[in-house]
Amino acid sequence: MKALVVEGGAMRGIFAAGVLDSFLEQDYQPFDFAIGVSAGASNLVGYLAKQKNRSYQVITQLATNRQFFNPTRFIKGGNLVDVNWLVTESARQFPLDKQTLFSGTPLVASATNIETGQAEYYQVTSDNLNRVLEATSALPIAYKQTPCFSGGCYTDGGVADSIPVIEAYRRGAKEITVVLSHPLSYQMPHSRTSWLIKRLLTEHPMIGEALANRAERYNHCLDFIRNPPRDVTIRVIAPPETFAVKRLTMKRDLLDDGYQMGRVEGEKHLASREGVYGLTIENCHFCV
């Protein structure tokens, strides 16, 4: 089985938007299932609906809007980011081709259960689409609402599983393509403010604990990618070292540059798969 895994990272998702648009241009959709987290799930919705540029428009036109990101509102006790508004407005301004989306490759999104601090994975359907997209992107502290459905309440999937490559393997994938939102050299540093986060999340102690251990989980996924089991091939598409987009970057020129980097890396990945560069799994593990 072939799986596509797309990391989140808020505005850093602009890189994956470029990668997936390059895939759409070449009608490249060979996957048996896809798993996304936060912005990665949103990007995958546009890709699996075969709507080129949708994710780019959502990020550059809506995620930069003050209705979504508003520090003044946050200081006054409101949301720093209004995820529900973004999900609802995305559906209104850029309607999805749901027939295409739900008739092809199954999409799974991860969310973190606030009671257990563990990742749970939901197949996205026409019935739960908006709820799952809200839950997988519901940044703790920055988003005050707690999305609840299917008997549980959730926060951002990246809290417990930022790169669900191990989940893809657990589901039987033997060929996994991973789109990251950091360069390959990245290692997540351990938080120096975990004590403060735990204090801010006293009502949800398991989320505070999960955030405190997030770097360990994240780097464990990177280790899995770099040293996969013998029975799986993992191919990675990652931003170059010059990728300057951060989690809350709002500057259009930086976002456009990040999108173009994604397009370039996506095109390079497809070219390498076709043997254009003469690369193989033996001489370029992360390229092929």
237-265 pLDDT tens trace:
999 999 999 999 999 999 999 999 999 99
pLDDT more than 70, % of the chain? 90
Catalytic residue among 21, 22, 38, 110: 38
Is 111's pLDDT higher than 50?
Answer: yes
Label the pairing between strands 119-123 and 107-113.
antiparallel
CA atoms within 13 A on the CB side of 223: 7
The better pLDDT of the pair 142, 122 is held by 122
The whole-number pLDDT of residue 225 equals 95
Per-residue model confidence as pLDDT tens digits over 22-48: 999 999 999 999 999 999 999 999 999
Three-class SS of 113-126: ECCCCCEEEEECCC
**CA gap 186, 71 in Å, rounded:** 28
Topology, domain 2-274: Cytosolic phospholipase A2 catalytic domain (3.40.1090)
Count the neighbouring beta carbons within 10 Å of the beta carbon of residue 253. 8
Catalytic status, residue 127: no
Is 4's pLDDT higher than 90?
Answer: yes
Give the tokens for residue 201.
């999340």
Angle (nearest 5°) at CA 145 between 140 and 146? 75
Per-residue model confidence as pLDDT tens digits over 141-175: 889 889 998 889 999 999 999 999 999 999 999 99
CA–centroid distance for 277 within its chain: 29
Mean pLDDT taken over the chain: 91
Tell me what the mean pLDDT of segment 106-122 comes to: 95
The whole-number pLDDT of residue 283 equals 44
What residues does each domain of the chain span?
2-274
The whole-number pLDDT of residue 223 equals 95
Count the neighbouring beta carbons within 10 Å of the beta carbon of residue 190. 12
**CA gap 191, 7 in Å, rounded:** 20
The whole-number pLDDT of residue 199 equals 61
Catalytic status, residue 38: yes
Per-residue model confidence as pLDDT tens digits over 189-215: 876 665 556 665 667 677 877 788 888
pLDDT band for 279, please (50, 70, 90 cuts): low
The whole-number pLDDT of residue 204 equals 66
Catalytic residue among 156, 162, 181, 257: 156
The whole-number pLDDT of residue 6 equals 98
Is 132's pLDDT higher than 50?
Answer: yes
